[in-house]
Amino acid sequence: MSEITLELKGISKSYLRGEPGEVQVLRGADLALHAGEVVALVAPSGAGKSTLLHIAGLLDTPDAGEVRVAGEDVSGKGDRRRTRVRRQEVGFVYQFHHLLPEFTALENIVLPQLANGTSQKAAAARAAELLDTVGLAARADHRPAALSGGEQQRVAFCRALANSPRILLADEPTGNLDPATSDQVFAALMTLVRGTGLSALIATHNLELAARMDRQVKLENGVLVPL
């Protein structure tokens, strides 16, 4: 088997709320993602998919358990190290594109590369190549408002992959699109992922899309089980 890029071991997380008090969302969730593998994360709304993705993406910390990125236990590390690993190794896509409205599609993909120390010229070349891969070369100079929902989401994928992360995490990335567009956007995502050998964990309600991924896991009672 190929290298494990992301490993979650015994992840637990609860939230404190007024009524009915503490809610335990994750209860010892385990997962190993291998390089090149695309895994569907399926569960009803409220089951804890976003919580799990945020912990896996080092945006939130678990109450217990380990998050290992490329073999390194990142959960015990300080904020600076976690931020660095997140920036270099993890790409995140949400249900809504969250592109910066005042910048063009190309610039939205250039910016995270500049923040990571890439030169303007190399960043622009990489952004153009990514846009071309998802069929949006002709839209490079458009701002998000001038793009359709499916196009915006394809740009968001390019941005997530701009710094060549090992891991892509996506939270209902096609949840906001009609079925035909959703299909198209998913195909673009698979082209991007297959071209790089990165691992992806993609939360979706859509069982038909889930079936097109390499493997499916379900979040049930706070743990991950095969679907």
Chain contacts with ligand ADP (rule: CB under 6 A)? 15, 17, 23, 25, 43, 45-51
Tokens describing residue 219: 């979040």
Identity of the residue, 44 or 76, whose beta carbon is nearer to ligand ADP in the bound complex: 44
What is the spatial order of strands in the sheet that 90-93 belongs to? 90-93, 167-171, 199-203, 38-42, 215-220, 223-226
d(CA 191, CA 55): 26
Smallest distance from ligand ADP to CB 172, Å: 8
Identity of the residue, 19 or 79, whose beta carbon is nearer to ligand ADP in the bound complex: 19
Identity of the residue, 40 or 127, whose beta carbon is nearer to ligand ADP in the bound complex: 40
Smallest distance from ligand ADP to CB 188, Å: 23
3-state helix, strand, coil in the chain (%, to 5): 35, 25, 35
Identity of the residue, 47 or 156, whose beta carbon is nearer to ligand ADP in the bound complex: 47
Smallest distance from ligand ADP to CB 226, Å: 18
DSSP 141-155: T--GGGS-HHHHHHH
C-beta neighbour count of 46 within 10 angstroms: 9
Smallest distance from ligand ADP to CB 225, Å: 15
